[in-house]
Amino acid sequence: MLCATPPSAAPSEATALIAKLARPVPASTAYTEVRFVHLLRKPLVLQGQLDYNGPGQLGKRVEAPYRETTTIAAGAVEVTRAERPPKRFDLDRAPELKALLTGFSALLGGDAATLQQFYTMEFVENAPNWTLTLLPRAADSGSHLRALVVAGAGVEPRCFTLQQADGDSSTMLLGALSEATLPQPPTPAAVAALCARP
């Protein structure tokens, strides 16, 4: 599966950019996540902290509006909520999280080759802003995840957006942008505009 599709050449600008995005481990950043779920009348807005501890290891802490800690290590996910026993499940059962993890690990590791293995890349630059769209190569992991969009400016990634096949999506606003006032009502387009702000 891994080597079935020969990776197509990525745009050289993308490769150059990814190399610049590399961060030392551990990396940690505040985030605001906006989730558009078709079962809900309005999007979920969550705030917290992302901790990247090296390839395959990610911690995601929700601090508001409730507290929840997700840790990923060795292919297993553990979700802990206050006063409830932790839930554990396999990373494969949460493709969204897996995509995020793979994308994150490769981006923070400056590893364009790994990204090319799993995704085809589209790179759009509008200096200093840029958008890197990652489309999953493998059909099975693409069943839920349609695209992973990273938006940034200069060497800073600002937004991580996961687009699901069923039309749902979620965007994580990272670093300084996590403090930004969200457009009201927050729509996918409005959030995208926030990420593309000069």
Partner 1 sequence: MTNARRYALIALWWLALAACAFVLQQRLVISGDLREFMPPPTNAEQKLLLDAIGEGPASRLLLLAIGDAPPAQVARLSDSLARALRTDAHFERVLNGGGDLAALDPALLPYRYVLSPTLDEHAFDAATLRDELQQRVQDLGSPAAEMLKDLLPRDPTLETLKLAQRWLPRRAPALRDGVWFSPHDEALLLVQTRAGGFDPQAQAQAIAALQTAFAALPDGGSAQLSISGPGYIGVQVGAQTRREAERLSVFGSAGFIVLLLLAYRSGGVLALVALPLLSGALAGVAAIAFAFGSMHGITLAFGFTLLGVAQEYPLRVFSHRRVGTDARTSVREVWPLLRLAIVSACIAYLAFLVSGVAGLQQLAVFTISGLLVAGAATRWLLPALLSASFRDVAESTWLEKLRAIIDGVRRPRWLPWALLLLALAWLQMAPAPLWQNDLAALTPASPALLAREGELRAALGAPDVRYLLVIEAPSADGVLAAAERITPQVDKWIAAHAVDDVELPSRYLPSAATQRARQTKLPEHAALVAALDTALADTDFLPGLFTPFLDDVEAARRLPVLTPEQFAGSPFGARLQAMLLPRAGRWLGLATLSGVHDAAAIRLDAGSDAHLLDLKAASEELVAAYRTRILVALGAALVLLGLSVALAFRNWRRAWAVLAPMSLATLLAFAVLRAGGISLSLFHLVALTLAAGLGLHYALFFERPVADAAEARRTLHATLVCVGSALLVFGLLATSALPVLRAIGLTVALGVLFHFFLSIQMARPRQDS
The residues of the shown chain that bind partner 1, judged by CB under 8 A, are 1-2, 33, 35, 37-42, 44, 46, 60, 62, 66, 68, 70, 74-77, 79, 81, 87, 89-90, 92-97, 144, 164, 166, 168
Q: Which residues of 85-107 are buried (b: 16+ CB within 10 A; e: fewer)?
A: eeeeeebeebbebbbbbbbbbbb
Report the nearest approach of partner 1 to the CB of residue 72 (Å).
8
Planar angle of CA 80, 54, 139, nearest 5 degrees: 80
DSSP code of 133? Answer: E
Two tokens, residue 99 = 């995509």
CB closer to partner 1, 16 vs 76? 76
Report the nearest approach of partner 1 to the CB of residue 66 (Å).
6
Two tokens, residue 183 = 């457009």
CB closer to partner 1, 40 vs 176? 40
Length of the chain: 198
Two tokens, residue 194 = 């926030």
CB closer to partner 1, 6 vs 93? 93
Report the nearest approach of partner 1 to the CB of residue 131 (Å).
24
Two tokens, residue 12 = 């050289």
CB closer to partner 1, 16 vs 45? 45
CB closer to partner 1, 26 vs 89? 89
d(CA 10, CA 120): 8
Report the nearest approach of partner 1 to the CB of residue 180 (Å).
19
